[in-house]
């Protein structure tokens, strides 16, 4: 028996023994060797809903990155424990905003306006629990790439401005799609006083975007779109909204991971796609839809190294640990942070329910 088959067998046996006590959640960007064991696959929003629903499980193993496991831990019930197979699996985008810098920015904004009544903080789910808590404490919300437009629309009916972190591109692409002109958006650079702007510019802005980005989606460029259009005029370009505005504007469609999957699944045989998102997902779509022509938008596959840190060995280690009564890599969130973050997450789940 090969080493991989032996690991697969051990995980299957451990899962069978643990039965309903265990549920494994897997993000679409996970390696094939890992995601094959997921009881539920999804993007951040689907998995957040799923984490909130699987009451029977005592253990939730989250095959994704740290902020996702933290979100699951916040939404879990008190009898449940969330485990992350590799604690090194963080999200570089999430790490671009921290509580100290966000609070500092909020304090600077409060010098030029009444922030509690005039600015709604909205954090992308790709953020640490204490930033979600910050939003909960200041009347704000969480969003994912699936529901960003609904969340931003609601936020702007409640307050005249949104402070959106940490992904500038999701914020800009979403606001632009909602018809907000670029002149009413402002890029907040946390390294500079007032984010690099004067007081009047801050007061004029409707959407204040944190200077963060995802390196996986930053690797797609307008030249890639142009090259495919020239080479294959009938190919459809579909990209994730974490790509830059220049790429999103040139693409035929932009949407969340769930949206990209749905579009491919709904399309007739022979459809041609160049997809601008993480390569594990593109590769899986290629394998699952041989009747369509599917390629990565960029010539070099763009992998998320953090998602790739979780291996089948890590999963086996954590699942078998449970059989021996050992809880390996539990994810905990301090109770007062979890309570406030839950408020912001619940507001989002209501919007997207
Ligand atoms: S793909 Fe980008 S946003 Fe998603 S986990 Fe990786 S670095 Fe973070």
168-177 and 148-158 helices cross at what angle (nearest 10)?
A: 70
Please give the pLDDT value at position 282. Answer: 97
- Other C-beta atoms lying within 10 Å of the C-beta of residue 235: 19
84: left (phi over 0), alpha (psi -120 to 50) or beta: beta
Interval 64-68 mean pLDDT: 96
- Residue 194 and residue 212: Cα distance in Å, rounded? 16
Whole-angstrom Cα distance, residue 36 to residue 205?
Answer: 45
Angle between the 335-352 and 66-75 helix axes, to the nearest 10 degrees?
90
Q: Mean of the per-residue pLDDT values for the chain?
A: 96
Q: What are the φ/ψ torsions at residue 276 (nearest 5 degrees)?
A: -105, 80
Entry pTM:
0.94
Residues with CB under 6 A from ligand 1: 29, 65, 91-93, 126, 214, 216, 278, 304, 306-307
What is the C-alpha to C-alpha distance for residues 345 and 140, in angstroms, rounded to an integer?
A: 9
Share of the chain above pLDDT 70, in %: 99
pLDDT at 353: 55
In b/e form, how buried is each residue of 246-259, taking b as 16+ CB within 10 angstroms? ebbebbeebbbbbb
DSSP string, 221-254: -HHHHHHHHHH-TTPEEEE-TTS-HHHHHHSSEE
Percent with pLDDT over 90 in the chain: 93
Reference 205, options 164, 241, 174, 239; nearest CA is 164
pLDDT at 3: 86
- pLDDT tens-place string over residues 5-45: 999 999 999 999 999 999 999 999 999 999 999 999 998 77
Q: Kindly list the strands in the beta sheet with 293-296, ordered across the sheet, starting from the edge strand earlier in the chain.
A: 253-254, 236-239, 272-276, 293-296
Answer yes or no: is pLDDT of 346 > 60.
yes
Whether 113 has a pLDDT exceeding 80, the answer reads yes
- Find the 110 Cα to ligand 1 centroid distance in Å: 31
Atom 2 of ligand 1, residue of closest alpha carbon: 214
User: Helix axis angle, 3-18 relative to 312-323, nearest 10°?
Assistant: 40
DSSP 8-class letter at 268 = P
Whether the pLDDT of residue 258 is over 70: the answer is yes
Average pLDDT for residues 76-95, to the nearest whole number?
96
User: pLDDT of 270-323, one tens digit each?
Assistant: 999 999 999 999 999 999 999 999 999 999 999 999 999 999 999 999 999 999
Mean pLDDT of 97-116: 98
Extended beta strands in 2-72, E state: 22-27, 40-42, 59-63
Q: How far apart are CA 57 and CA 33, in angstroms?
A: 23
The predicted structure's pLDDT at residue 73: 94
Give distance in angstroms: CA of 26 to centre of ligand 1. 14
Give the phi and the psi of residue 10 in degrees, each rounded to 5.
Answer: -65, -40
User: Which atom of ligand 1 has the smallest separation from the CA of 217?
Assistant: 2
Identify the bridge partners of residue 296 per DSSP, sorted by sequence position. 275
161, 184 Cβ separation under 8 angstroms: no
Distance 119 CA to ligand 1 centre (A): 27
User: Whose C-alpha lies nearest to ligand 1, atom 5?
Assistant: 91
Contact (Cβ atoms closer than 8 angstroms) between residue 314 and residue 331? no
Residue 55 has a pLDDT of 86
Spacing, Cα 216 to ligand 1 middle (Å): 6
* 214 CA → ligand 1 middle, Å: 6
Phi, psi of 205 (to 5 degrees): -70, 145
Proportion of the chain in helix, strand, coil states, percent, rounded to 5: 50, 15, 35
pLDDT of residue 13: 96
């Amino acid at each position: 028996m090969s080493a991989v088959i032996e690991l697969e067998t051990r995980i299957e046996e451990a899962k069978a023994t643990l039965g309903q006590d265990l549920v494994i959640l897997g993000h679409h960007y996970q390696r094939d060797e890992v995601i094959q064991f997921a009881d539920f696959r999804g993007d951040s929003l689907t998995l957040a809903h799923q984490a909130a629903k699987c009451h029977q499980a005592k253990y939730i193993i989250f095959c994704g990155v740290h902020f996702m496991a933290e979100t699951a831990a916040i939404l879990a019930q008190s009898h449940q424990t969330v485990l992350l197979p590799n604690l090194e699996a963080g999200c570089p985008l999430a790490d671009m905003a921290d509580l100290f810098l966000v609070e500092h920015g909020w304090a600077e904004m409060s010098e030029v306006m009444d922030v509690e009544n005039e600015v709604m903080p909205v954090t992308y789910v790709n953020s640490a629990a204490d930033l979600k808590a910050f939003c909960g404490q200041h009347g704000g919300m969480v969003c994912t790439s699936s529901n960003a437009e609904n969340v931003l629309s609601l936020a702007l009916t409640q307050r005249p401005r949104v402070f959106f972190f940490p992904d500038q591109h999701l914020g800009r692409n979403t606001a632009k799609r909602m018809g907000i002109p670029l002149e009413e958006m402002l890029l907040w650079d946390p390294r500079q006083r007032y984010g690099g702007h004067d007081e009047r510019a801050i007061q004029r802005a409707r959407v204040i975007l944190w200077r963060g980005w995802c390196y996986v989606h930053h690797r797609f460029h307008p030249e890639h779109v142009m090259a495919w259009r020239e080479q294959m005029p009938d190919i459809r370009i579909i990209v994730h909204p974490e790509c830059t505005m220049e790429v999103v504007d040139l693409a035929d469609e932009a949407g969340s991971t769930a949206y990209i999957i749905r579009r491919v699944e709904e399309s007739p045989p022979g459809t041609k796609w160049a997809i601008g998102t993480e390569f594990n997902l593109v590769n899986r779509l290629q394998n699952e839809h041989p009747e369509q022509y599917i390629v990565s938008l960029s010539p070099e596959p763009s992998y998320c190294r953090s998602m790739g840190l979780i291996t089948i060995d890590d999963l086996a280690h954590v699942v078998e640990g449970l059989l021996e009564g050992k809880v390996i890599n539990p994810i905990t969130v301090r109770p007062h942070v979890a309570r406030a973050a839950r408020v912001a997450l619940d507001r989002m789940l209501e919007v997207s329910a």
